[in-house]
């Protein structure tokens, strides 16, 4: 398969190595210094594009792939307030779009367990809930896209929580999501239920970016030849 890379930072480089190790080729690499090369003509050299850039650039990049009718996998976080717009265009024009706030297999298993646990804990109001996420100091958005997914899944299931806030809170109807930025940490996410009697903790800790790259390349392999909007639930059958 031919994969165009949009964004050639830490993730773009990992994805290139992973994709080549699985026998794919990379006919096009777009980064900030050659943005003008992102045209329908250049994109059409590829079977699929994989986009890991920054929150201000993601929407424009995805639209460029739609303009070229090239399937697109995006992993950029911090722009998902525009997701409805993208999904609408994807459905209307029968394009192919794959999005995950976190491409790691372990995190997607954590998402699943988080939903199951929240359904159970809704019956036990004696447990206070809080979340923490820790990432490297260059991360632009906060809280992380993964933390937002975890928090929103909790809000949908725990009646006593109405919204998440990115700070410590004492309000019973708010869910604290605390962000830490430290050194080169690839990503740690924790959900904690604490009662007077005990503490129940779910934690996922990424060891490197390789797991994200593998998921993104698997997503690229998955959407070629399909139309519609997809996510990790479709890929992993969770």
Ligand X SMILES: NC(=O)c1ccc[n+]([C@@H]2O[C@H](COP(=O)([O-])OP(=O)(O)OC[C@H]3O[C@@H](n4cnc5c(N)ncnc54)[C@H](OP(=O)(O)O)[C@@H]3O)[C@@H](O)[C@H]2O)c1
Q: Which residues bind ligand X (CB under 6 A)?
A: 6-12, 30-32, 35, 52-54, 57, 61, 75-78, 100-103, 139, 212
Given 24, 135, 161, 204, the catalytic residue: 135
- 166, 142 contact by CB (below 8 A): yes
Q: Are strands 128-135 and 188-194 parallel, antiparallel or unpaired?
A: antiparallel
Give whichever of 61 and 176 is closer to ligand X, judged by the CB atom: 61
Q: Of 77, 81, 181, give the one whose Cα is nearest residue 132.
A: 181
Give whichever of 57 and 223 is closer to ligand X, judged by the CB atom: 57
CB of 131: closest distance to ligand X in angstroms? 17
Answer yes or no: 162 catalytic: no
Task: Name the residue whose CB lies closest to ligand X.
Answer: 9
CB of 87: closest distance to ligand X in angstroms? 17
Given 2, 44, 136, 139, the catalytic residue: 139
CB of 234: closest distance to ligand X in angstroms? 15
Give whichever of 75 and 193 is closer to ligand X, judged by the CB atom: 75
Answer yes or no: 135 catalytic: yes
Give whichever of 7 and 193 is closer to ligand X, judged by the CB atom: 7
Residues with catalytic function = 135, 139
């Amino acid at each position: 398969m031919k994969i165009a890379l949009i964004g050639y930072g830490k993730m773009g480089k990992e994805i290139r190595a992973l994709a080549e190790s699985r026998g794919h080729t990379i006919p096009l690499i777009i980064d900030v210094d050659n943005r003008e090369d992102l045209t329908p003509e250049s994109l059409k050299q590829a079977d699929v594009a994989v986009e890991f850039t920054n929150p201000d650039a993601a929407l424009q990049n995805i639209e460029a792939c739609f303009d070229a009718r090239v399937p697109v996998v995006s992993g950029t976080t911090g722009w998902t307030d525009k997701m409805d717009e993208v999904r609408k265009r994807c459905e209307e024009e029968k394009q192919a779009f794959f999005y995950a706030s976190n491409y790691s297999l372990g995190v997607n298993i954590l998402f699943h367990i988080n939903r199951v646990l929240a359904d159970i804990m809704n019956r036990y109001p004696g447990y206070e809930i809080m979340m923490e996420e820790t990432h490297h100091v260059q991360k632009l958005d906060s809280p992380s896209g993964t933390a937002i997914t975890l928090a929103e899944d909790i809000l949908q299931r725990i009646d006593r929580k109405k919204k998440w806030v990115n700070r410590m809170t004492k309000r019973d109807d708010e869910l604290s999501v605390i962000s830490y930025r430290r050194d080169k940490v690839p990503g740690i996410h924790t959900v904690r239920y604490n009662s007077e009697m005990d503490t129940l903790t779910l934690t996922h800790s990424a060891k490197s970016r390789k797991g994200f790259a593998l998921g993104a390349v698997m997503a690229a392999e998955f959407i070629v030849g399909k139309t519609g909007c997809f996510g990790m639930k479709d890929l992993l059958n969770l």
